[in-house]
Amino acid sequence: MRFHKLSLKNIQKSFKDYAIYFFTLILGVAIFYVFNAIDSQTVLLNTQSYVYELIKMMTNMLSGVSVFVSVILGFLIIYASRFLIKRRHKEFGIYMLLGMSKRKISMILFFETLFIGILSLGVGLILGVVLSQFMSILVANMFEADMTSFTFIVSKSAIIKTLIYFGIMYFLVMIFNTISISKCKLIDLLHSEKKSEQVKLKNPILCTILFLIAVAMLSYAYYCVTIGAKDLYYAYEIFIPIGLGCLATFLIFFSLSGLLLRIFMSMKGLYYRGLNSFTLRQISSKVNTTVFSMTIICLMLFLTICVFSASLSLKNSLTQNLEELTPVDISISKRRNFDEKALEDGWSLEQIEDSKKTIPESFLEMDFDYQNYFEDIFEFNVYTFSDMTIANTLGSVYDEIVELYPFLSYDTAEEFVSLSDYNKLARMYGLDELSLRDNEYAIVADYDQWITIRNDGLKANTPLVLNGKSYYPNREECIYGFMDIASNHINIGFFVVPDEALNAADLYRSLMVANYKGITDVEKEHIEKVVHDLEDNSYALNSTLSVSTKLTIYAASVGLGAMVTFIGLYLGLIFLISSAAILALKELSESTDNKERFQMLRNLGADEKMINKALFYQILIFFLCPLLLACIHSVFGILFCNYILESMGTTQLLTSIFTTAGFLIFIYGGYFLITYYCSKNIIKER
């Protein structure tokens, strides 16, 4: 019982000075519960059936991510415990001096960890239950679900999972504490506060060389993910700049820890002003002894910024594109009239035979009366010419384009649509209609990178010779538009020509677009199910039909956007909290160790305002060091993310960057302020 009382007194005594530790534990428990309770929280949402499948898939992904998150939080808790034990070395030394065995000290730590665990789990779960209700609103908003039947709910499965995961973490902390105490010696415990971390002035020449090497490595890594990004053909090649960036980050902190103090010492006007000499030596000491930690924190902050920005951008872009890129309910594409090489290309005899039939004829073979389900039906054909590849249509700028984009396929046959068919399609899609002379053509595209390529060919006034007649560009820029409905901008470009230009063209594929006859969501869902059931038809298995529906595209886009957003939020919050908490705990531990130093400053005549100002700048610079380098990394990381997103036809990074900055200021800045006020409380004269 006496261990219980002593443990409770120790917790009460440490709570004010180490509020950040308890706050981080509570926040970790709450976030863990919130993201694992999504499945239970969304059961009562009134939405379409396919949305439930998306939410189920998303929660399964989040469950897998939770394992990784628990590992990060486990390391954070053990890291925090290490600082707490270090702070109390003198206390443990007095216990041993009074005759208490290491086993009994371990028992005190056992009960302290147990009480802290119970407290943090209890408060964290209560906070998590409250926050999860707001998460339900966010999920409902993402999936456009009806919340009329929603009620306050507590997820038993999330509670059990949280108790198990954090129970294992606290158990590991107990083992760690026991091992740490068993290795301690009485003399070290009693004199731990008198030991100071020595500021080693590293060889400035070596530090300068390493700094220049690090800058060169970073410059090359930045080049690879920006200007040289188009040369990263294989996915594994991205690990080269990533590895260089990680190593360069370590070298920068290592070299600066040996250079900064010398640089400031040479600036005597700044160094000897006020308490700057004390502050700068303290900062140099911290950076000097935490090079590896600063590297990890910097990289975690970099990941946080990039993950937040990219995930929010992808979600916004996918959602924004849906209405624009799916103007009709269904689009059916069918390959037509295969040539004699079709068997060599992997097509079956049944598919080759089916390619001779139109889309309505294929539906007839499947006993599907499409006119009972579809309205606003429009069917048209897409053609090719044997001598019209992308290389041919680029004309004089082909060599220049190949040099800029060497990995694109330039032998792909170009697609052609008649002017009359395109104008009918444009009216259905709400796009601008075209007007062409009898010797003109236009290119319709919506993929930004390919629009740039196509525009170069158009500006060169590249002629097309079709059936012995030359056709010239109607304008020097592509017309925005598309044929097939999709979730993002994927149309690399097709040609619109006068109808007579296609008299001798090769029929490449047929396309049918239509709307469902249903008015309500239930009716449209029924037609959607009928259409998808066709996939199991024996004839459809050997057909060349390809079906895209608005609901399917919507489900895939919203599902992908939601998964990326929630996983990005989950990992981003954990990385951000872990980074800030490690810095905060390190700073609080340093403040405890430096109480005597601050008291010495008072004895030398420094007033509280000067001391608090020195402490403020000391903590501010310590927090800013990894953040500034992480922000520099993030500029190039976000440019690379933007390059990838543009290749997928998505944008909207600017809005997500501002959102990310808001999260960063609120959480990271909040930890900084709490650390400052807690540290000020620790060092103040009593």
Asked if 541 and 571 sit in the same domain, the reply is: no
With residue 134 as reference, give the H or E element that holds it.
helix 102-143
Asked if 19 and 79 sit in the same domain, the reply is: yes
pLDDT band at 42 (very low <50, low <70, confident <90, very high): low
Last-in-domain residue among 529, 554, 579: 554
Q: How far is CA 244 from CA 110, 216, 224, in A?
A: 43, 10, 11
Whole-prediction pTM: 0.73
What residue type is assigned to position 632 of the chain?
Answer: I
pLDDT at position 188 is: 57
With residue 669 as reference, give the H or E element that holds it.
helix 653-683
Asked if 419 and 537 sit in the same domain, the reply is: yes
pLDDT at position 474 is: 92
Asked if 523 and 439 sit in the same domain, the reply is: yes
Asked if 473 and 530 sit in the same domain, the reply is: yes
pLDDT at position 2 is: 60
Asked if 313 and 288 sit in the same domain, the reply is: yes
482-489 average pLDDT score:
86
**Structure-token match 């009239």, residue found:** 337
Asked if 211 and 190 sit in the same domain, the reply is: no
With residue 465 as reference, give the H or E element that holds it.
strand 464-466
**Structure-token match 């160094």, residue found:** 271
Triad 264, 266, 268: Cα angle to 5°: 85
Q: What does the pLDDT look like over 254-270, one tens digit per residue?
A: 887 766 666 666 666 66
Q: How far is CA 374 from CA 438, 514, 524, 540, 665, in A?
A: 35, 6, 10, 19, 52
28-50 average pLDDT score:
69
Q: What does the pLDDT look like over 391-432, one tens digit per residue?
A: 989 988 998 888 888 778 888 899 999 999 999 999 999 998
Asked if 2 and 17 sit in the same domain, the reply is: yes
333-347 average pLDDT score:
77
Q: How far apart are CA 221 and CA 636, in angstroms?
A: 9
Asked if 535 and 560 sit in the same domain, the reply is: no
Domain, as residue range, for 191: 1-195
With residue 334 as reference, give the H or E element that holds it.
strand 330-335
Asked if 501 and 597 sit in the same domain, the reply is: no
* β 440-445/416-418 pair status: unpaired
What is the domain count for the chain? 3
Asked if 299 and 446 sit in the same domain, the reply is: no
- Alpha helices of 343-416 — where are they, by DSSP H? 349-354, 359-365, 390-394, 398-404
Highest mean pLDDT out of 21-35, 81-95, 102-116 = 21-35
Q: What does the pLDDT look like over 567-598, one tens digit per residue?
A: 888 888 888 888 888 888 888 777 777 777 77
Asked if 408 and 502 sit in the same domain, the reply is: yes
Last-in-domain residue among 539, 554, 569: 554
> Which of 229-233, 492-496, 586-590, 614-618 is predicted least confidently?
229-233
Last-in-domain residue among 554, 582, 617: 554
Q: What does the pLDDT look like over 56-85, one tens digit per residue?
A: 777 777 777 888 888 888 877 777 777 667
With residue 580 as reference, give the H or E element that holds it.
helix 550-593
